[in-house]
Amino acid sequence: MTPYSKILFYQSGELPSSLPMLCATLGIPVEIHTIDDPLLPEPDADPQTLTLVPWQGGIGTSGLPDWARVMLPQSAMVLYDVRESQVDSVQLLTLGLKGLLFQEERVDMTLSALRALMQGELWFSRATLEKAVTRMIGSQIQLQKRQEQEKLTNREQSVVRLVAMGARNKEIARELFISEYTVKAHLASIFRKTETRNRVELVSKLGLN
């Protein structure tokens, strides 16, 4: 059994898409809804349903309609009729979309995309996936650096900021109106909490260089 057994397809009544016919050639059952109806479409939480929603340029920053954004957490969703040059594919991937079908795509590629999506695969370019991973790693690194800083007291954070500026113990003591002995005690505590051995490692680990 494939991950998805049918497609819930939303389209405009004025601009019907040819995608349902392509789905039919693959033997994929399609349930069509018109988004121009007064009533908003209801989310389909069926885990075996793949939802296809038309891209609407100029709405928000993603081209994803508001009603579809509400559905997204509960649905496996693909955005179709997308203009590649006008969207941030990485943003759409991180929103939770399963794939993008572009307006300018060849029919054979669209068929390949539909097959892959029905099997539960993501349909994004390699470049988009690489950028998404890079962003995710970068965000994780920044989170780790913030968590390391949050281990420190306010006074210790003040010491670290001065260390990052290149201040020596005597300068730190003068700036914070404390003794050099107290500065050394703070640094020992800071090195222990951040699991670093010296100022260079400390500044690097906390992202202050």
Per-residue pLDDT of the chain (209 residues; tens, 9 = 90+): 468 988 988 887 666 678 888 888 888 898 888 876 655 556 556 788 999 988 877 544 567 777 788 888 888 999 998 888 888 888 888 888 999 999 888 889 999 999 999 999 999 988 888 888 888 777 777 778 788 888 899 999 999 999 999 999 999 999 999 999 999 999 999 999 988 999 998 888 887 76
pTM confidence score: 0.65
Q: pLDDT per residue over 122-137, tens digit each?
A: 999 888 888 888 887 7
Query: Which residue(s) pair with 8 in the sheet?
Result: 31, 51
- Residue owning tokens 């006008």: 86
Do residues 96 and 72 make contact, with C-beta atoms less than 8 angstroms apart? yes
Say how far apart CA 139 and CA 167 lie, in whole Å: 29
Q: Phi then psi for 41, rounded to 5 degrees? A: -60, 145
Say how far apart CA 143 and CA 19 lie, in whole Å: 42
Q: Could you give the residue ranges of the DSSP H alpha helices within the chain?
A: 19-25, 66-71, 89-95, 107-118, 126-150, 154-164, 169-176, 180-194, 199-205
Query: Which residue(s) pair with 123 in the sheet?
Result: 99
